[in-house]
A and B are shown apart, each in its own frame.
Chain A
Amino acid sequence: MTVHNLYIFDRNGSCLYYNEWNRKKQAGISKDEEFKLMYGMLFSIRSFVSKMSPLDMKEGFLSFQTSKYRLHYYETPSGLRFIMNTDLSVPNARETLQQIYSNLYVEYIVKNPVCVLGHSLDSELFSSRLDSFIRGLPFYSPRAA
């Protein structure tokens, strides 16, 4: 039961924040390329999902899973995108991502006058609160399953 990593993108595609807790294997490409790949993939998958949907769509793309991990996606009305990779024991992390947005992002970044929206998030307060929040989640444990 664990969280592998977390990405935060703004609506223009720039990666504002990235942190990993339990990542055994790296992607093999530079971090910049990895962020571009992630954002590009999500953009395509969202438009694919909405085009191919047999019914009217409500939320759109929520998550995908492989045999080893699950990727959860949450997009705020303001265009901020939260992506979290966890292992398969976590069925739905949408609420967690929502909490990260309202209790951490809004509190420590939006209300922080020194943090410019759109630039990468430097606030140490945000990082440390996010870290303790993730470590405090019921489905987080330091050793990967």
Chain B
Amino acid sequence: MADEAPFQFLHNEVIQYIYKSAETDNGRNIATLENMGYRVGQGLIERLTKDTARFKDELDVMKFVCKDFWTCVFKKQIDNLRTNHQGIYVLQDNKFRLLSQLSAGKQYLEHAPKYLAFSCGLVRGALSNLGVKSIVTAEVSIMPACKFQIMIQKM
């Protein structure tokens, strides 16, 4: 995880490529990006946790994602974690790395979901390999702050 520029450029190109090769702009592109992130997240979490102890509970897993996982991928920690203790977690990042070069406000807001899909999948994959099945969505109102909402699915 030495330099983030190659990853950012590659990420942007992946998104452009998927949108250019799909004729119609439907939700499939977002789903494709999310699935790619899922696979990457699964592999990444294996590498990151190979030496750590087992997690005590779900909250511990979420804290690991907010601190170590986010630091490894996005070079900073999550700014705010909220939960209702019933399976819903909201992770707020006030200066999301992949959006900070796009704009600082409302410009390009409609393009933002494309750039968050991969990261949603990343979180979902990481959680799934830690034994937590979830659905992850992201919303952004003012760039570069964004919120990831995680809904835990009880099996």
Contact = CB atoms under 8 A, between A and B. Distances in A.
A122 B107 CA distance: 10
Residue from A108, A112, A125 whose CB has the most chain B CB atoms within 10 Å: A125
Interface residues of A, number: 11
B107 A123 contact: yes
Contact of A125 (B5, B12, B15, B104): B104
B16 A124 contact: no
Which of B5, B12, B101, B111 has the most chain A CB atoms inside 10 A of its CB? B101
A128 B102 CA distance: 13
A106 B5 CA distance: 11
A107 B12 CA distance: 14
A107 B97 CA distance: 12
A112 B100 CA distance: 9
Interface in A87-115: 107-108, 111-114
B83 interface: no
B21 to A, nearest CB: 16
B70 interface: no
Contact of B107 (A107, A111, A125): A125
A113 B107 contact: no
Interface residues of B, number: 15
B9 A125 contact: no
Contact of A113 (B5, B102, B104): B102
B89 interface: no
B107 A108 contact: no
B26 to A, nearest CB: 20
Contact of B16 (A112, A113, A123, A125): A113
Nearest to B114: A113
B9 A111 contact: yes
A123 B111 CA distance: 13
B141 interface: no
Contacts of A128: 104
Contacts of A122: 107
A87 B15 CA distance: 45
A78 B137 CA distance: 39
Nearest to B14: A113
19 contacts: A107-B101, A111-B5, A111-B8, A111-B12, A111-B101, A112-B101, A112-B102, A113-B15, A113-B115, A114-B108, A123-B103, A123-B107, A123-B108, A124-B103, A124-B104, A124-B107, A125-B101, A125-B102, A125-B103
